[in-house]
Structure 1
Amino acid sequence: MNRRRPAFFLDRDGVINKDTGYPYRPSDLHFIAGAPEAIARINALGYLVIVISNQSGVARGYFTEEDVNQFHQQIKRKLKSYQAHVDAFFICPFHPQGSLESYKKEHFDRKPNPGMIEKAIAKFNIDRDRSILIGDKQTDLLAGHRAHIDSYLFDQNNLEHFVISLMKNRWP
C-alpha cells in the first residue's frame, strides 16, 4: 500500500511567478522573491509541490495550452539551479466568457472550484489533512477550503519567508 504524502498546493501567478497579466512566454517568467528557495525548502521537507492555476488566457485566445506547457517547462528548468522541483502542474484553461467556443464554459477545475486539487489528490494519493494551499486571491483560498485543505493568503513579497513563517506557526 502506498503511503499518503502531504502536498503544498501553490497558485502560479502571484505566488511563484510575478503576475504581469497573462504571462505565458518563457521570457515572462520572473520568480517572486524567495519562490525557488521556498520550493526547495518544501521539497526538502518531503512535501509534494503541486501548482494549480486558472489559465483563462487559453479560453480568451491569448495563447494555447502548449504555450502554457512551455512556460511550465521554463519554470522546471529554472528551478533546477536551486535544487528545487514542481511535482505536477494542473491548469484550467476554461472560462465562461472565453472567446474560443471549445473553452467557453464553467468548469469544475476552475477556481474557486476544487477540481484541480481533487484531481491531484487522487493522482498522487495526497494526505489532505497534512496539506497546505498558498494563493494570492480569495478564489484560491475558497478552492482550498472546498477541498478541505488548510489555505493561506500570500500577501507578502517573499515566498520563502512566508513558508518559513507558516511552518513555524504550524509546527513550533
Structure 2
Amino acid sequence: MKLLILDRDGVINQDSDAYIKSVEEWVPIPGSITAIADLSKAGWTVAVATNQSGIARGYYSLATLDAMHQRLRDLVVAQGGEVGLIVYCPHGPAEGCACRKPRPGMLETIAAHYATHLDGVWFVGDSLGDLQAAQATGAQPVLVKTGKGINTLGKPLPAGTLIFEDLASVAQSLIHH
C-alpha cells in the first residue's frame, strides 16, 4: 500500500494563530486539494493526522470540525480523488494524552487502521512536532514551507528530514518518482 500521512493546518489549509474555528475560516492552500486528488488518482492513500486543541479550548465544536473535514473530502472528491482516514487530537497541550503530536498516537492509529507499518511512510508537516511524531514511528519526516514551515526551518530538524515548498511539490515528487 502506498500510504501518505498529512498534517492539516499549514499543510492542506491556511493556518492561523487564532485557530481555524469555522468552515468559512478553513481555506485550502493553493494547489493542496489538487495535490491530494492527484495522489489519490495515482494510487496513494492519503490520511490526515491533526492536533485540534481548539476543541479542548472551547473555540469550536466537534460538529464544526467534522464539517471542516467534510469540506476537505468534498473538494477532493470534486477533483476525482478521495481522502482516507482523518484522525485528530481534541486535547489541550497540558492533558498528557498519547495522541497529541509530537507524540506518535495518531500516526499509530492510522497504521493500525490500514494494518501496515510506518517505516519509511512520509508524514508531511509544517512544525517540529509533526517531524518528531514521524521520527518516533519510523516514518519519513517531510517539512513543507507553508504554514509554520519557514519558522520550523530555523530549528534543529530530525536527521533525514525532506524539505519541499508545499504539498503540491510533495505530490509531484511522489507521483513522478
Instruction: Give TM-score, length-normalised by structure 1.
Output: 0.84
* 1:161 and 2:169 are equivalent in the alignment: yes
Cα deviation, residue 165, structure 1:
3.4
Higher helix share: 1
Q: Which amino acid aligns with 2:92?
A: H
CA distance in 2, matches of 1:75, 1:22: 17
Count how many residue pairs are aligned between Structure 1 and Structure 2: 158
* 1:151 and 2:141 are equivalent in the alignment: yes
Task: Determine the structure 2 residue equivalent to 1:65.
Answer: 62
Structure scoring higher RCO (CA < 8 A, sep ≥ 6) equals 1
CA distance in 1, matches of 2:14, 2:22: 13
Q: Which amino acid aligns with 2:130?
A: D
Q: Which amino acid aligns with 2:114?
A: F
CA distance in 2, matches of 1:158, 1:132: 14
Cα deviation, residue 39, structure 1:
0.5
* 1:74 and 2:82 are equivalent in the alignment: no
Task: Determine the structure 1 residue equivalent to 2:5.
Answer: 9
Q: 1:108 aligns with which of 98, 117, 134?
A: 98
Q: 2:14 aligns with which of 15, 18, 42?
A: 18
SS at 1:58 equivalent: coil
Q: 2:114 aligns with which of 102, 124, 133?
A: 124
Q: Is the 8 A contact 2:49 2:86 kept in 1?
A: yes
Task: Determine the structure 1 residue equivalent to 2:53.
Answer: 56
Cα deviation, residue 167, structure 1:
5.5
Cα deviation, 1:33-88, whole Å, max 9, x if unaligned, reads: 11011101211232211110000001111112221111111111122221122111
CA distance in 2, matches of 1:22, 1:43: 28
CA distance in 1, matches of 2:134, 2:96: 18
Cα deviation, residue 166, structure 1:
5.3
Q: Is the 8 A contact 2:52 2:89 kept in 1?
A: yes
Q: Is the 8 A contact 1:7 1:48 kept in 2?
A: yes
Q: Which runs of 4 or more aligned residues in structure 1 lie more than 4 Å from their structure 2 counterparts after TM superposition?
A: none
Cα deviation, 1:87-108, whole Å, max 9, x if unaligned, reads: 11100011144xxxxxxx1111
